[in-house]
């Protein structure tokens, strides 16, 4: 029997590969490199997080530290001044401030707000504005200072004048603006030269108007360089005054008014306006003040007087060719109507009405009227002989007078401003003033001006 002999393995036989994660050298290198990169990134990321956290913590600490370093309550701010003053007195106010914070207060300034009519000074100069600003710059920690401001306080006796001061600044390293406020009140104890006004509270348009301004020095000393200034309303026509004004009809100057002395200013004029229209007179007492920068006058008292224009007891209304604004042509016939009316509750007697014709273009030879025509003065007059109602014109009664006149058919001496218009001025008056009508004269006026054009009318033919 054959014996099997062991088969020897060939020397070139291949040993089988067993797969491992890093069996492939290239693949193993790649995976190791990726792991290193991830590890490195994580290390850097942790460093970034730590830096960011430190910045946040530092910023928070900085903010908290600044909040601790500044508090609005650590800024002491106030203003002091007298509790009473005479109108026109120069008053000194003191403003004090202290920074108890541990940081500077930057861009600091104080705004001082004065009441109306108070006249402040800044750098010895009178300021027209009622507000002034004091720039302080930077207020260092624990710094303290005081500022003085002066002002002429003005007002009626008993008036309370509030002065307000505002300190505004920005704490260092903070963008916000902080403001601290303080105020002080000064009461006007008296007025050195009080004035009184005596005048009609109502009047009739076109009537004489008289005003008396009384004054008295109620101090124990003489008053020097005083003025009384009057601002008249629209419609007031000044006619005279006693004493005579200083330079203009609005200003009276007194070099000295002795202690206890008194006087008056009487002003006369004509006050005109529409019915129910208020007319306001403004009277101001001024005193001279001397400053290093020059002299000036400041107001120490202001008074207002109102007078109402009432309905006139008598009124007139003039029209031409039934209108107020008729435009006339050469050769025109003009028909004028004058309506008169008694607006009072009393009977008015003895009336006389007149109409004055002004203008070279009137043909006075063509006048037709029931009134009497004065050819020397070109005035037509109606009285009780031609208008029976003028004997006694009852309450609310009205009537009309009229007349006709022609215009010349050509301009005399050529066209000019003086002969291109004509005017009629009417006037009604009586010397008898009924009881209950408070006036020195009882009259009324009304005028009408008519333009004359060279433009042809529709009935005229234009020649070429």
Q: Which of 116-125, 188-197, 371-380 has the lowest mean pLDDT?
A: 116-125
pLDDT digits (tens, 9 = 90+) for 335-363: 999 999 999 999 999 999 999 999 999 99
Residue 60 is assigned to a structural domain of this protein: no
pLDDT at 4: 41
pLDDT at 7: 40
Whether 232 has a pLDDT exceeding 90, the answer reads yes
Q: Which of 49-53, 101-105, 122-126 has the lowest mean pLDDT?
A: 49-53
Q: How confident is residue 276, by pLDDT bands cut at 50, 70 and 90? A: confident
Structure tokens at 298: 């400041």
Residues 346 and 398 in one domain: yes
From 310, 329, 357, give the residue that closes a domain.
310
Residue 458 is assigned to a structural domain of this protein: no
Neighbouring C-alpha atoms within 13 Å toward the C-beta of 114: 25
Cβ neighbour number for residue 297 with a 10 Å cutoff: 17
Q: Which of 49-63, 137-151, 425-439 has the highest mean pLDDT?
A: 137-151
From 310, 330, 354, give the residue that closes a domain.
310
Rounded Cα distance, 386 and 140, in Å:
96
Structure tokens at 112: 């001082």
Q: Which one has a higher pLDDT value, 255 or 295?
A: 255
Residue 460 is assigned to a structural domain of this protein: no
Answer for the pair 415, 443: CB distance below 8 angstroms, yes or no: no
pLDDT at 387: 97
Whether 167 has a pLDDT exceeding 70, the answer reads yes
Rounded Cα distance, 145 and 168, in Å:
15
Residue 51 is assigned to a structural domain of this protein: no
Considering its fold, how many domains does the chain have in total? 3
pLDDT at 18: 41
Residues 181 and 212 in one domain: no
Residues 120 and 155 in one domain: yes
pLDDT digits (tens, 9 = 90+) for 92-114: 999 999 999 999 999 999 999 99
Residues 345 and 230 in one domain: no
Q: How confident is residue 189, by pLDDT bands cut at 50, 70 and 90? A: very high
Q: How confident is residue 35, by pLDDT bands cut at 50, 70 and 90? A: low
Residues 446 and 353 in one domain: yes
Residue 272 is assigned to a structural domain of this protein: yes
- pTM of the predicted structure, to 2 decimals: 0.65
pLDDT digits (tens, 9 = 90+) for 296-335: 999 999 999 999 998 889 999 999 999 999 999 999 999 9
Find residue 125's DSSP bridge partners: 122
Q: How confident is the prediction for the chain on average, in pLDDT?
A: 86
Residues 389 and 376 in one domain: yes
Residue 267 is assigned to a structural domain of this protein: yes
Residues 125 and 210 in one domain: no
Q: How confident is residue 1, by pLDDT bands cut at 50, 70 and 90? A: very low
Q: Which of 6-20, 22-36, 75-89, 196-210 has the highest mean pLDDT?
A: 75-89
Q: Exposed, middle or buried by CB within 10 Å (0-12, 13-18, 19+), for 302?
A: middle
Rounded Cα distance, 210 and 207, in Å:
10
pLDDT at 291: 82
How far is the CA of 338 from the CAs of 83, 140, 321, 397, 402, in angstroms? 65, 84, 11, 14, 6
Q: How confident is residue 208, by pLDDT bands cut at 50, 70 and 90? A: confident
Residues 306 and 318 in one domain: no
pLDDT at 33: 60
Residue 41 is assigned to a structural domain of this protein: no
Q: Exposed, middle or buried by CB within 10 Å (0-12, 13-18, 19+), for 154?
A: buried
Residue 38 is assigned to a structural domain of this protein: no
Rounded Cα distance, 92 and 151, in Å:
7
Residues 110 and 161 in one domain: yes
Domain that holds residue 211: 195-310
pLDDT digits (tens, 9 = 90+) for 5-25: 444 343 344 344 444 444 444
Cβ neighbour number for residue 86 with a 10 Å cutoff: 15
Answer for the pair 423, 447: CB distance below 8 angstroms, yes or no: yes
pLDDT at 8: 39
CATH number of the domain within which 363 lies: 2.60.40.10
pLDDT at 47: 65
Residues 328 and 394 in one domain: yes
Residues 372 and 267 in one domain: no
- How many percent of the chain have pLDDT more than 90? 68
Q: What share of the chain is helix, strand, coil (3-state, %, to 5)?
A: 10, 50, 40
From 260, 282, 310, give the residue that closes a domain.
310
Nearest to 343 by CA among 319, 382, 310: 310
pLDDT at 32: 52
Answer for the pair 74, 100: CB distance below 8 angstroms, yes or no: yes
Whether 37 has a pLDDT exceeding 70, the answer reads no
Which helix (H) or strand (E) segment holds residue 84: the answer is strand 84-86
Residues 318 and 448 in one domain: yes
Which positions ≥6 away from 317 have C-beta within 8 Å? Answer: 338, 339, 446
């Amino acid at each position: 029997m054959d014996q099997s002999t062991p088969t020897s393995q060939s020397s070139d036989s291949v040993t089988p590969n067993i797969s491992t994660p890093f069996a492939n050298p290239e693949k193993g290198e790649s995976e190791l490199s990726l792991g290193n990169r991830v590890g490195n990134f994580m290390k850097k990321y942790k460093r970034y997080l730590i830096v960011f956290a430190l910045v946040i913590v530092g910023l928070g600490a900085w903010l908290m530290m600044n909040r601790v370093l500044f508090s609005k309550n650590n800024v002491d701010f106030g203003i002091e001044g007298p509790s009473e003053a005479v109108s026109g007195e120069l008053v000194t106010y003191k403003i004090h401030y202290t920074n108890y914070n541990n940081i500077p207060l930057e861009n600091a300034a104080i705004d001082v707000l004065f009441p109306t009519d108070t006249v402040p000074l800044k750098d010895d100069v009178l300021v027209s504005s009622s507000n002034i600003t004091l720039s302080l710059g930077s207020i260092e920690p624990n710094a303290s200072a005081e500022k003085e401001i002066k002002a002429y306080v003005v007002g009626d006796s008993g008036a309370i004048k509030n002065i307000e001061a505002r300190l505004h600044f920005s704490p260092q390293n903070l963008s916000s603006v902080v403001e601290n406020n303080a105020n002080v009140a000064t009461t006007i104890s008296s007025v050195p030269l009080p004035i009184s006004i005596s005048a009609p509270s109502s009047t009739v348009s076109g009537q004489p108007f008289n005003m008396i301004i009384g004054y008295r020095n109620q101090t124990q000393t003489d008053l020097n360089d005083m003025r009384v200034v009057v601002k008249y309303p629209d419609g007031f026509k000044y006619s005279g005054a006693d004493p005579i004004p200083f330079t203009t009809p609005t200003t009276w100057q007194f070099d000295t008014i002795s202690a206890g002395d008194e006087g008056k200013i009487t002003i006369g004029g004509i006050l005109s306006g529409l019915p129910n229209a208020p007319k306001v007179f403004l009277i101001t007492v001024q005193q001279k003040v001397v400053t290093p920068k020059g002299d000036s006058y400041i107001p120490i008292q202001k008074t207002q007087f109102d007078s109402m224009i009432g309905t006139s007891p008598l009124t007139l209304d003039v029209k031409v060719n039934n209108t107020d604004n008729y435009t006339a042509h050469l050769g025109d016939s003009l028909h004028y109507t004058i309506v008169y009316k008694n607006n009072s509750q009393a009977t008015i007697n003895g009336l006389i009405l007149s109409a004055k014709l002004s203008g070279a273009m009137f043909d006075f030879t063509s006048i037709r009227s029931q009134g009497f025509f004065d050819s020397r003065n070109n005035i037509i007059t109606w009285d009780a002989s031609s208008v029976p109602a003028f004997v006694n014109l009852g309450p609310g009664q009205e009537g009309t007078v009229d007349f006709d006149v022609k215009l010349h058919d050509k301009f005399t001496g050529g066209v000019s401003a003086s002969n291109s218009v004509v005017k009629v001025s009417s006037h009604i008056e009586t010397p008898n003033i009924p009881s209950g009508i408070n006036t020195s004269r009882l009259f009324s006026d009304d005028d009408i001006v008519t333009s004359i054009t060279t433009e042809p009318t529709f009935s005229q033919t234009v020649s070429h």
